[in-house]
Amino acid sequence: MELNDADLGALTMQAGAIAERAGAHVMGYFDQELEVSYKSDGNAIASQVVTRADHESQSLIEAALQPLSQQYDFGFLGEETPDDHSRFKKDYFWCVDPLDGTLAYTEKKKGFAVSIGLIRRDGKGVLGAIYDPYEQRLFTSYMEGEAVVKSMRQGEAQGKQGDPNTNSDELHWYMDRSMKQSVHFQQLHGFVEKIAADSGCHSLKIVDYFGAVMNACSVWGDPNALYFKLPKKEPGGGCLWDFAATSCLFEVGSRPVSSISGGALDLNPKQGVFMNEQGVIFCGSHDLANRLKSVLNQASLFPPR
């Protein structure tokens, strides 16, 4: 089965409405004290923390997507349920992060989001719907369509994202919290400082408390911003649901997104749901992406395959 433009447009609208509804549900707990549990995924605290809000959001999303899954014969992959491998059997599968950035959420900080992507069996993202409940923004995109950001705040303008602000002379480095614990951090910091100087930026600002989804969304609207994760031997490096919707947003919006080596992200790998073998790069401009890929691939920081 091949989805056409009309199918993708309609599915994106429905996924956006579902993401917004799940985000509203999540915000219902935001000012409450939630019991925090830990799971064994990955090796970073941010990937292990989970709450009642995560589970309820996924249940809400999965139930709302079920009629569409039946109609189109889609598979499903969600962060809070085991991989049933339907992603290898169906032509397309939903890829859902019901609450990305749970650690920021439990700390009552912004930087969390609900993410719904639709992935083709060959690992290509074809639509994405991301809702930022804290800022009340909805990001949607689909192949052959357009990338749109809408504000849900009453009285604020809605519509397609305009040209990003190009007046900033500051380079913004969005990173996962675990990046600062990397043995390569000081070396990477030096690389990024040089990229900032070579790009005409007079300073470097690090943002290290957002989840992966909002890291990428923050880069999307800022030409002086980057976010990346290095490949590594052990499981980690983010999961498919971290990048399912955001990679589509970048591709449709003509922003650079790739593996560390510069290839397309494979969002349906056989070896599992982690991205540790690929690494990821999201940049606000092609110039930044080229500079970043060049220094990273010359540094020999990656484990042998």
280 sits in which H/E element: strand 280-283
Enumerate the domain spans of the chain: 5-159, 170-298
Banded model confidence at residue 167, pLDDT cuts 50, 70, 90 = very low
Helical ranges in the chain per DSSP H:
5-27, 45-48, 52-72, 102-106, 185-198, 212-220, 240-252, 286-298
Q: Which residue has the higher pLDDT, 47 or 53?
A: 53
Q: How far apart are CA 45 and CA 95, in angstroms?
A: 22
Q: Enter the CATH code of domain 5-159.
A: 3.30.540.10
User: How do residues 249-265 score in pLDDT, each as one tens digit?
Assistant: 999 999 999 999 999 99
- Which pTM does this prediction carry? 0.92
pLDDT at 294: 92
Position 237 scores a pLDDT of 87
Return the percentage of the chain with pLDDT > 90, whole number: 79
Which is it for strands 225-229 and 170-174: parallel, antiparallel or unpaired? parallel
Q: Taking the domain 170-298, which CATH number applies?
A: 3.40.190.80
Provide the pLDDT for residue 165: 46
- Tokens 């650690």 found at: 103
Rounded distance between C-alpha atoms, residue 279 and residue 77, angstroms: 20
Q: How far apart are the first and last CA of the chain?
A: 34
Q: Are 224 and 168 in contact (CB under 8 A)?
A: yes
pLDDT, tens digit (0-9, with 9 covering 90-100), for 90-142: 999 999 999 999 999 999 999 999 999 999 999 999 999 999 999 999 999 99
Q: Report the pLDDT value the prediction gives residue 49, as an integer from 0 to 100.
A: 77
> If you average pLDDT over every residue of the chain, what do you get?
91
- pLDDT at res. 166: 46
> Which residue, chain included where needed, has tokens 């519509």?
159
**Considering only CA atoms, which of 252, 225, 226, 242 is closest in space to residue 276?**
242
CA separation for the pair 78, 71 (Å, rounded): 19
pLDDT in tens, 93-107: 999 999 999 999 999
Query: What value does the mean pLDDT take over residues 51-56?
Result: 95
